Amino acid sequence: MTTRIVLADDQALIRAGFHALIESADDLEVVGEAVNGREAVDRVRELAPDVVLMDIRMPEMNGIEATREIVAANSASKVLVLTTFDLDEYVYQALRAGASGFLLKDASARQLADGVRVVAAGEALLAPSVTKRLITEFSKLAEEPRLSPTAQAAYGDLTERETEVLVLIAQGLSNAEIATRLVVAESTIKTHVSRILVKLGLRDRTQAAVFAYEARLVTPG
Q: Where are the chain's structural domains? A: 3-121, 145-214
Does position 211 have pLDDT exceeding 60, yes or no?
yes
Q: What is the pLDDT of residue 178?
A: 93
Domain 3-121 has CATH 3.40.50.2300: yes
Higher pLDDT, 130 or 176: 176
Reference 98, options 217, 173, 197; nearest CA is 197
**pLDDT (mean) for 66-75:** 90
Poorest-pLDDT segment among 31-35, 64-68, 165-169, 170-174: 170-174
Q: What is the pTM of this model?
A: 0.77
Alpha carbon distance 160, 186 (integer Å): 18
CATH of 145-214, one of 3.40.630.30, 1.10.730.10, 3.30.70.120, 1.10.10.10: 1.10.10.10
Does position 140 have pLDDT exceeding 70, yes or no?
no
Q: What is the overall mean pLDDT for the chain? A: 84
Does position 128 have pLDDT exceeding 70, yes or no?
no
Residue type, 64: I
Does position 142 have pLDDT exceeding 70, yes or no?
no
Q: What is the largest CA-CA distance in the chain?
A: 50
Residue type, 159: T
- For 127-134, the CB contacts below 8 A with 24+ separation are 127/101, 127/102, 127/103, 128/172, 129/172, 130/86, 131/95, 131/101, 131/102, 131/172, 131/206, 131/209, 132/170, 132/171, 132/172, 132/209, 133/86, 133/87, 134/86, 134/87, 134/91, 134/92, 134/95, 134/102
